[in-house]
A and B are shown apart, each in its own frame.
Chain A
């Protein structure tokens, strides 16, 4: 209830201000949907509309849903209402600014349907053509071949290992379900009944994809992300992150039925596609913010990268050890492995190898299909004891 008998004009002013604020919020990346704004108005009503701090809190408590949004809200508020908000708990997490950048991911144009292209497509569609295509290096495909490979990637469905959950459901074999048994007995007037049983339900293990999409991996970025999209479609709860100049979580953007639309959303979310990768740092950022808290725990983690680390690879080794301890299985996909004469000789690859359960090539469609099999492999991973060299090299600096 607003104080006193304010005229409708004053009410309108308040509404105008808030609507303007909502526009600023959206520009800063906070979803100010109408129902939430309505809640904010309700909250402002309960507080003092003339106090800046009160309005700040009314908005923050109704419009934000994650700590990142809180930070963005804070900046938007200061920008719109001017000045600084003297809040005792100033939000501290860094903001991820989203910039739309021209991107090396190709979104196919409308099918033209010229004569020559038809024959080429027809050629690739024959059985032997498909077989050859499967083994071609993804970085060196022509446009039609790329299209076809994309379609085939979209059809991959990486199922994977499962884990037992705590929830139990009725089963024909398993532990005794006392409740249901007694209930059945009651129905028969207390006479003994067949014993009912229940067993733990199984849920698929989470799949986490960390995709290096910058620098030397750019050529494979498109195919990698399409693979991630295919996986996310089949397994709800898949988390996808891109590694480049910084770590970006694209799990939300990559969800969606159409691969092209999903990839467009992803490319809009990743801030910078050029520049080198600092794998160790970004792996650490992933583990600190998500991995350690439960995203990587007991999950199947697939890292797409050539392991090219700038400078010292010690940090990378340490972080991989952390990841290895948290995850159920760690799979490393290196496109160079598919090439002849590949030996994991770079400092980066040597640092990560002791902590990787499977090293797979990722340069062709056939390699992706092999990756699907590796992910689905449910045998308990053989954990080799890391060599003493790896351990001493990985001592904390």
Chain B
């Protein structure tokens, strides 16, 4: 087990080594979450780096990342555990065919651990050992509904899962939890209060260039700075969906694939779909030269 970092700076360096470039806020938030053993609630626009932080954090801690993707209608059976009923039925039939008559023993066998399907939350509880807590990522909790939030709140308070047929499973050490949200709806206050809340903004110019260069070593320095300048400019404009870091990386990848060594109007127009996902935004940017290129080529775009 890697030793816990002693201060946010150390954690920032470790995250950097794992491929995630944090700013002061993110490093402090993650550090406090580890130290205080409180869940970390990350909220921000789509594509701003919430899920990647959880992955990098798991790597830094040398622990497994267990991911629970939320959606509307997610319930305890999908999140916590379920019984493998078909197998149980088969076992029952097989035993009958073999002429087994000890009913108690049969029942005991039916509700055995091997027929239990551990879903993410139970898996996180089971695999968290002393000195080596697992990292549970509850992704996009705003897509789940109120009932699930209440359930999650309950789970986060004591991390003991009671399975009626088997008993209570308690974690040796409570797992670390990162909850993310895209803010498509207001998550209940009670859940946020339980966590450390951090609002993630888009990175600034220097950081975004650094991220690009780290992720895409093939891109030239000129291309990286051109692209970042253009995207930073776009974010200040009135788009329906301002691009996130993920989109910047996609766009740069597309440009590199087309052989660009700097940002030029033709290739920019061709690959714009990797950056802007709304037709209105694309049209608007092309029409008003939102990228800030000397675009005499784009007339009639």
Q: Which residues of A contact B (CB under 8 A)?
A: 35-36, 39, 42-43, 46-48, 53-54, 57-58, 60-62, 64-67, 70, 87-89, 91-92, 165-168, 178-179, 182-183, 185-186, 189-190, 288, 292-295, 396
Contact = CB atoms under 8 A, between A and B. Distances in A.
Contacts of A47: 7-8, 28, 31-32
B24 A88 contact: yes
A207 to B, nearest CB: 14
B193 interface: yes
Contacts of A66: 186, 199
Nearest to A62: B196
Given A182-B89, A294-B185, A165 B77 contact: no
A60 B41 CA distance: 13
B93 interface: yes
B85 A186 contact: yes
B73 to A, nearest CB: 3
Contact of B201 (A43, A91, A185): A91
Nearest to B88: A186
7 contacts: A43-B32, A61-B32, A66-B186, A89-B23, A91-B199, A186-B85, A190-B96
Interface of B: 7-8, 23-25, 28-29, 31-32, 35-36, 38, 43, 71-73, 75, 77, 82-83, 85-86, 88-89, 92-93, 96, 110, 142, 145, 147, 182-186, 189, 192-193, 196-201, 203-204, 207, 238, 240-241, 280, 283-284
Contact of A61 (B29, B142, B186, B193): B29
A76 to B, nearest CB: 16
Given A46-B36, A65-B189, A70 B92 contact: no
Contacts of B283: 396
Nearest to B25: A89
B299 to A, nearest CB: 17
Given A186-B89, A294-B185, A295-B185, A168 B193 contact: no
B28 A57 contact: yes
B215 to A, nearest CB: 19
Given A89-B204, A186-B89, 12 more contacts: A36-B193, A42-B36, A43-B32, A46-B31, A46-B32, A60-B25, A61-B197, A66-B186, A166-B71, A167-B72, A179-B77, A293-B185
Nearest to B241: A292
Contacts of A288: 238, 240
Contacts of A89: 23-25, 200-201, 203-204
A178 B28 CA distance: 47
A37 B200 CA distance: 22
B197 A64 contact: yes
A294 to B, nearest CB: 4
Given A65-B189, A396-B284, A166 B92 contact: no
Nearest to B26: A89
Contacts of A92: 201
Contact of A70 (B184, B199, B240): B199
Contact of A182 (B85, B147, B186): B85
Contacts of B86: 182
Nearest to A184: B85
A25 to B, nearest CB: 15
